[in-house]
């Protein structure tokens, strides 16, 4: 398995779906990540309506960073309705031909010869494990991907795919405000099967919405920030790091200060009672 960094840079908002960074700005951001020991960059073919990988690829060349110093993740399968493809409805495609074609497009766009990790972006009711396996086997044999994993898959969907292939990662939504995977068996399953969880949206809705849940969390964080001499976002990440499944957060920020803060969060060791006090604040009632 590739040696991913303890914080992963999520690149979805680097392009036109967010900050719309130019080549120089993106190149600088890549260097900023590396300076903060963030060496893994998370992409998907659909980001920026299939344009962000190309923008990142140009920036990667511009950055003059050795390819073996970083890890590149991409995802495929979602057929997005946008300007760049003639899709009439959003759907999924996991045919052997499409998976191979999609990876080759990502390699071309990212200007690299291999992906460290390929993820199936979301489960499809029509996916066939044997056909997916043929594509993954061929891509691995050709050296175009190193590892293979999933994104947003349940344990039963994972079982379907692992019947044919080794799965090393499942990227799921998990945070203090969205912790259902800690209770519904998803993270238990990943621990039992040695599958690494990567967390998208690891700060959850905390900075995005004003809700009763977030107000309760904020109240709890006031004194914990003082106790641990940490920021709110650091404690939200430290809460994830405490979990025994060894969750790796995928952070979407392009802000240098927040990148620096995120890197330091892994060194904060939350006491067990403080961890539960945050869970209780989030769910609004004590644990059973």
Q: How many helices (H) and strands (E) does the chain have?
A: 11, 10
Which among 12, 152, 14, 153 has a CA at the least distance from the CA of 73? 12
Distance (Å, whole) CA 13 – CA 254: 8
Angstrom distance (rounded) from CA 73 to CA 44? 8
Catalytic residues: 47
Task: Give dist(CA 219, CA 26) in Å, integer.
Answer: 36
- DSSP assignment of 252-265: ----HHHHHHHHHH
What kind and span of H or E run contains 75?
strand 71-76
Using alpha carbons, select from 21, 2, 1, 4 the residue that is nearest to residue 256. 21
Q: What gap in Å lies between CA 105 and CA 246, rounded to an integer?
A: 32
What CA–CA distance (Å, rounded) separates 109 from 112?
A: 8
């Amino acid at each position: 398995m590739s040696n991913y960094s303890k914080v992963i840079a999520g690149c979805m908002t680097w392009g036109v779906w967010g900050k719309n960074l130019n080549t120089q700005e993106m190149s600088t951001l890549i260097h900023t990540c590396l300076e903060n020991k963030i060496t893994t960059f998370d992409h998907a073919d659909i980001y920026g309506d299939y344009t962000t990988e190309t923008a990142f690829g140009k920036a990667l060349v511009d950055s003059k960073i050795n390819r073996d110093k970083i890890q590149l993740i991409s995802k495929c399968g979602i057929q997005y309705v946008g300007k760049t493809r003639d899709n009439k409805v959003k759907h999924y495609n996991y045919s052997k031909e499409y998976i191979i074609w999609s990876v080759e497009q990502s390699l071309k766009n990212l200007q690299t010869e291999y992906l460290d990790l390929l993820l199936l972006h979301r489960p499809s009711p029509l996916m066939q494990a044997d056909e997916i396996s043929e594509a993954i086997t061929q891509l691995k044999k050709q050296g175009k991907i190193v590892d293979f994993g999933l994104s947003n898959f349940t344990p039963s969907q994972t079982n379907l795919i692992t019947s044919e292939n080794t799965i090393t990662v499942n990227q799921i939504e998990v945070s203090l405000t969205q912790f259902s995977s800690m209770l519904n068996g998803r993270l238990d399953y990943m621990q039992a099967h040695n599958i690494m969880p990567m967390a998208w949206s690891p700060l959850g809705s905390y900075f995005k919405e004003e809700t009763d849940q977030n107000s309760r969390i904020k109240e709890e964080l006031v004194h914990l920030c003082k106790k641990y001499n940490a920021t709110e976002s650091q404690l939200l990440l430290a809460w994830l790091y405490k979990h025994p499944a060894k969750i790796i957060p995928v952070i979407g920020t392009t802000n240098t200060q927040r990148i620096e803060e995120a890197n330091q969060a892994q060194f904060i060791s939350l006491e067990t009672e403080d961890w539960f006090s945050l869970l209780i604040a989030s769910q609004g009632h004590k644990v059973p």
